[in-house]
Structure 1
């Protein structure tokens, strides 16, 4: 099993190249099921957990922080904090909205309490905050590193231009710089390749952790016609996933079927392996509501696609 290093400056985070997405914890996976998924992920060789303080504020009855709370309770019950790397994010919790310096500090403290830990391994600015001077955000993140509460800094949902600006401000002030980037990127969402984000990742040696790696389930082959999305047991994200069901999407599924058949693996394994083998990618992020969904994710770690297979998939996804 391979290992990925996310390194920039003094930070060196070593992970297995697959991140378990925590967005489902406390939403479509209750506490008990979440514990089972976390146990199985670690038992299967996984060690990188991705969450956010806002997960899952959108679910009825939730107020944000549910995912962090479950992960914290799991850590307290199982021990072994050093066995996992934890990434979380700030800006979307209803009580800690935005990226003002004071809010970043307060949100970090709240996340540490929910996670029941003394440090956040990778702390993201989740969404850009145009209302706050970027320098204020840069300084607050850097100070959290100085205080030992955060080991490394990352950004998500930023434009390439704003990331460049973060680095200019950081270098001018002697602040700690981001080491990672979390963009929307997968086999059917390819803007990352052309919108400047991959260029800035290469230029600044950023480790890239894509979200929606399976296009909300579409790239796992879960939705092949409209009836799949409307089925009673469909995921809450099924309607969004079914939007990919056009000629291009069907061509991608056909290519995935072909490659998956050649390796005797599930489509999700192939989709994640394709993503992991793209330039700048350190680890795809994928979530599992149940342990049965997790097996295909873990299987992707052992799957190495040939150059011809990567080209076959890329070409199918690029077709109109």
Structure 2
């Protein structure tokens, strides 16, 4: 395993791959979830990503399942001190709502953030998380209120590093500027969709955001920032013939990039998934892929990408399309 340090060297050291556990404790059963977490830890993986709304959309889901599962595993394995835990707030439904995300979410008010961290710590069975994200953009709450509430979470010792997910670049920049002006901790980790393929112009996923040029430029210009790339393997579409390419990626440039990706993978004796992850981890932009898997075999495929060296020539071919 390789490692990098978050927040410009002031945050925790994390494994080059982050394990996203969205379905753990719901569509991925406890035994399989434990097996995947055990294998990840055995391979040197330290960075695990969850949220306080995973997976509320599953049959009978409450949104507590993933955090509760991780909390049990951390306790049963005595693994808290060697695991970097990231979770999120803001995308649970408002109290009493009969609708769920992505139709509605509770947002990023100070009240929600205070209650959110308390609930997450309780479910995770810990006194702090290492990285705490604003999950989904909330334009009904002043950015000042959200920034100050997150700063209080840091001051209380309940988190060390702050992150933001599914936000427009200008909102992230505004929040960081306010935090800097007030001497408060700001967002340093940005979790957005990102993969080797680019979405069609204007293509979006509702409340979710892709890390387009403006986000990437912001991260490149600030040495305390890291991109956490979720959806890097586009739900298996790079390798599985039964998985149709998402409509947001289905355009001529994507098909040309897929051809080059498959050529490079064949030359390396690797899978397209491994090449995508290696391409993300080895580039100039600081990227940590957030990989979601549902089996140990899928995890092992992803882990093999950590030591896959593309080299400048192959990387140039991938980037030229």
TM-score (norm 1): 0.88
Change over 3 Å in CA distance of 1:132–1:15 after alignment to 2: same
Task: Give the stretch that moved more between structures: 208-217 or 89-98.
Answer: 89-98
1:210 aligns with 2:209: no
Residues 198 and 254, structure 2, Cα contact 8 Å, conserved in 1? no
> Of Structure 1 and Structure 2, which has the larger fraction of its residues in helix?
1
Q: Where in structure 2 are there 5+ consecutive unaligned residues?
A: 96-105, 200-209
Counterpart residue number, 2:3: 3
- Against the structure 1 CA distance between its residues 137 and 240, is the aligned structure 2 distance closer, same or farther, given a 3 Å change threshold? farther
Q: Secondary structure at the match of 2:188?
A: strand
How far is 1:143 from its partner?
0.6
**CA distance, structure 2, for counterparts of residue 245 and residue 98 of structure 1:** 31
Shift, 1:62, TM fit: 0.3
SS of 1:200 mapped into structure 2: helix
Q: Output the CA distance in 1 between the equivalents of 2:175 and 2:138.
A: 12
Q: Once the two structures are superposed, what CA deviation does each residue of 1:48-104 show, in whole Å capped at 9, x if it has no partner?
A: 001111111111210112111111111111112111101111111225721100110
Shift of residue 260, structure 1, vs aligned partner: 1.9
Where does the alignment leave 5 or more consecutive residues of structure 1 unmatched? 230-238
Within-5 A mapping of 1:111-190: 111-189=120-198
TM-score norm. by structure 2 comes to 0.88
> Which piece of structure 1 moves more, 201-210 or 88-97?
88-97
Cross-structure match for 2:36 = 37
Counterpart of 1:267 in structure 2 is 272
2:113 pairs with one of 57, 79, 104: 104
How far the C-alpha of 1:30 sits from its partner, in A, is 1.1
Q: CA deviation at 1:162?
A: 0.8
State the match for 2:99 in structure 1: none
Alpha-carbon contact 1:217-1:241 (below 8 Å) kept = no
Given candidates 283, 289, 292, the residue that maps to 1:278 is 283
Whole-angstrom CA distance in 2 between matches of 1:40 and 1:29? 15
Cα contact 1:90–1:124 (8 A) shared by 2: yes
Distance across 2 between alignment mates of 1:162 and 1:29 = 34
- For the residue of structure 1 that corresponds to 2:306, the secondary structure is helix
